[in-house]
Structure 1
Amino acid sequence: MLSILLLTLSILLATFVLQINKQLNRHLEKNSKPFDMVIGAKGSPLQLVLSTILHIDNPTGNISLDEASRISKNPMIKEVIPLSFGDNYKGYKILGTSSQYLGKYGATCKEGRLNTKNFEAVFGSEAAKNLNISVGSAFVSSHGLLQNDIDVHDEKPFVVTGILAPTGTVVDHLIITNIESIWDVHEHEHKEHKEEHKEITALLLNFRNPIGALQLSRSINKDTSLQAALPKLEIDRLLKFLGIGFQTINGIALAILLVAGLSIFINLIKTVRERKHELALLRTYGATNFQLLKLVFYEALFLSLIGFILGWLLGRIGVLLFTTLASNAYKYHLEISIPDEKEFFILIIVLFTTILATILASYSLFKLNISKILADA
């Protein structure tokens, strides 16, 4: 039982970390890949990327539409997508942007149509499912990015024109409208500056070549009041920090696996010693040393496979529990997938450890003094 428990724990940790690491990398790459640069207010570049691309942090602030427009006219820039947010509906972020944004993630309508007018909105698949929203429904936004019933814009209701098909990206958890709707919702807060001081949250840019991104990034950060962040660079930095934690947990899992292998080895030695009379009898009935070795190996293999299967199942249950937390906190779902090549590699290591433990523990089988053992019995 101790051998199975140790092996189960090591496999649980190893497979859980592998799945989290693999899916997190895929999720971050899939959501950040469509854009070369983010421009927003001064602050942390990582926070800027997390808030505008992954939508899991608060924005660094707003920027002037005029200043953003001047930058977007740079000839090195191929494509510009503005973002504006600051409101939510029952905890789901309402994002004001252009129609190009949905195209970047390959989002299409499963029901209804895309928004074309002010105060029309489309819901991501997860947002629509969790909020039980249907095409034609009306809703009002609340100020801020967290659910609240205090600062509600009752005078400016939105109409749902479409439900998006699942994309496996952040779009699934967003409510999309146009930027003009975001401005109109808040115009009572800035009536005297309605036209002169329009603001947005950020710009998402794509360049004609990679050199343009590096050159403009340095120029913006040095010569303007804005901040430019490169999503790939910031995501790589984030994964580097997270990777240290993943490596630590994998190291612990490996250490437990070695202890489990040692436990199996000790268990087999004990088995051979306690059953030497039985094994000696089998030899008298014609069993060969190799057949006795197979008996011991099958017992060790049974322990190893039970431990591996239990560890893999508990690892997947761990992923399922983690995805519940991730869905609530970050609006992201992990998938329960079949074993991948790395998990098969772990199985090979377990089997190799089992064979090695069997060979070492069964060395005494070849030294059985049958007549003495049976005489002592």
Structure 2
Amino acid sequence: MLATFVLQISKQLNHHLEKNSKPFDMVIGAKGSPLQLVLSAILHIDNPTGNISLDEALRISKNPMIKEAILVSYGDNYRGYRILGTSDEYVRKYGATLKEGKLNTKNFEAVFGAEVAKKLNLNIGSSFVSSHGLIQNEIEAHDEKPFVMTGILAPTGTVVDQLIITNLESIWKVHEHENEHIEYKKHKEEHKEITALLLNFRNPIGALQLSRSINKDSSLQAALPKFEIDRLLKFLGIGFQAINGIAMAILLVAGLSIFISLIKTVRERKHELALLRTYGATNFQLLKLVFLEALFLSLIGFVLGWFWGRVSILLFSNLASDTYKYHLEISSPNMQEFLILIIVIFMTILAVIFASYSLFKLNISKILADA
């Protein structure tokens, strides 16, 4: 159970992180931790490092080395799910398509990711009110500026499934106060902010050059998602290796327990085995009988371990879904698990070989006389 659980968590986590970070070469945001910037702007599982000037972001996006630039802004949620202000290009980068309704085309229109729509169970045309912050709360709700759900995206297996997506103007307008003066509004219009800028480059050299320039000569921060994710996986990998080591140690202990169980079986059932010999059973047939019993126990143990490992994945997925709005999949057995099965069978064969030594030393006449 532990081995299959760790293998699945490790595999799905690696796949999830790589799949979600792959669409973008660089993320630019406020100064702080580059890993936090990637986790917040790409994976949407952390708080942002701050906001950056829209004018400065647009200036950077005009760099000839940049192939594509996508602005994103967030800071509000609806029932714990993040509301992301961006463009249609963001949705296309993750290969998301409409399942129902239409994409948002006006202010305060929003499309729901597949998982959000499934969990919240809203219908097309339903209105909802955002709350300030990234954690569910009803205290700082923007009641005066409700959103309208216009569409539902098809499942993609990416972060898009966990987001509510609208346009940037809606994010800006929802934070304007109704009693602001016209002069202040004009001033604010000239100083709009976004949370992050997501970039793709024409070649890898451009990403390295711009990253060095921004981090050294500006008040902004540039982070490379692939580099930061690889660094995170390296840290996590140490933990997974440790748990895998524990799992393999448990497998070895299980192999030892099979051996002890077989020795105990031969001793407790020596009268039965002696009778079988008197009825013409050969040593090989007795060996086969013991082997089949041990194999049966091993296979039952493997199947139960696989089943409870998947149950553990389901429980862990529910926990992750409540905390981070992500879920894990219940998948069929993979090659690594088949390898574990081979190891289990191999250990069973070894245990039978060592335990069968006493089978060839059965004193049939003495055993039957003592019965």
Common fold by TM > 0.5: yes
Q: Which amino acid aligns with 2:231?
A: R
Counterpart position of 1:294? 288
Give 2:130's match in structure 1, choosing from 122, 129, 141.
141
Counterpart CA distance in 2 for 1:215 and 1:171 is 30
How far is the alpha carbon of 1:138 from its aligned partner? 1.4
Give 2:270's match in structure 1, choosing from 270, 276, 286.
276
How far is the alpha carbon of 1:371 from its aligned partner? 2.8
Greater CA drift, 179-188 or 75-84: 179-188
Counterpart position of 2:14? 25
1:304 matched to 2:298: yes
Counterpart position of 1:256? 250
Greater CA drift, 189-198 or 120-129: 189-198
Q: Deviations over 1:247-266 (max 9, x none)?
A: 11111111111111111101
Q: Which amino acid aligns with 2:87?
A: S
Counterpart CA distance in 2 for 1:137 and 1:280 is 78
Counterpart CA distance in 2 for 1:274 and 1:162 is 69
Secondary structure at 1:194's aligned position in 2?
helix
Counterpart CA distance in 2 for 1:193 and 1:128 is 37
Q: Deviations over 1:320-340 (max 9, x none)?
A: 001101111111111111111
Counterpart CA distance in 2 for 1:376 and 1:126 is 70
How far is the alpha carbon of 1:374 from its aligned partner? 2.9
Q: Deviations over 1:139-184 (max 9, x none)?
A: 2211111111122212212121111111111111111111011111
1:1-377 pair list within 5 angstroms: 12-188=1-177, 191=185, 193-377=187-371
Secondary structure at 2:70's aligned position in 1?
strand
Secondary structure at 1:54's aligned position in 2?
coil
How far is the alpha carbon of 1:192 from its aligned partner? 6.3
Counterpart CA distance in 1 for 2:164 and 2:331 is 28
Secondary structure at 2:368's aligned position in 1?
helix
Coordinate RMSD, CA, aligned = 1.3
Greater CA drift, 236-245 or 277-286: 277-286
How far is the alpha carbon of 1:130 from its aligned partner? 1.5
Counterpart CA distance in 1 for 2:125 and 2:205 is 46
Percent identity between the two aligned chains:
84
TM-score normalised according to structure 2 size: 0.96
Q: Which amino acid aligns with 1:347?
A: L
Counterpart position of 1:3? none
Greater CA drift, 314-323 or 150-159: 150-159
Counterpart CA distance in 2 for 1:184 and 1:30 is 32
Secondary structure at 2:47's aligned position in 1?
coil
Q: Which amino acid aligns with 2:21?
A: S
Q: Which amino acid aligns with 2:92?
A: G
Q: Are the counterparts in 2 of residues 114 and 161 from structure 1 also a CA contact under 8 Å? A: yes
Counterpart CA distance in 2 for 1:191 and 1:154 is 20
Secondary structure at 2:191's aligned position in 1?
coil
Greater CA drift, 75-84 or 256-265: 256-265
Counterpart CA distance in 2 for 1:264 and 1:119 is 64
Secondary structure at 1:60's aligned position in 2?
coil
How far is the alpha carbon of 1:288 from its aligned partner? 0.8
TM-score normalised according to structure 1 size: 0.94
Counterpart CA distance in 2 for 1:344 and 1:375 is 47
How far is the alpha carbon of 1:61 from its aligned partner? 0.2
Q: Are the counterparts in 2 of residues 96 and 177 from structure 1 also a CA contact under 8 Å? A: yes
Counterpart CA distance in 2 for 1:139 and 1:285 is 80
Q: Are the counterparts in 2 of residues 187 and 194 from structure 1 also a CA contact under 8 Å? A: no
Structure 1, unmatched stretches of 5+, are 1-11
Q: Deviations over 1:337-367 (max 9, x none)?
A: 1111110110010000001000100012122
Structure 2, unmatched stretches of 5+, are none
Secondary structure at 1:129's aligned position in 2?
helix
How far is the alpha carbon of 1:283 from its aligned partner? 1.4
Q: Which amino acid aligns with 1:177?
A: T
Counterpart CA distance in 2 for 1:55 and 1:103 is 17
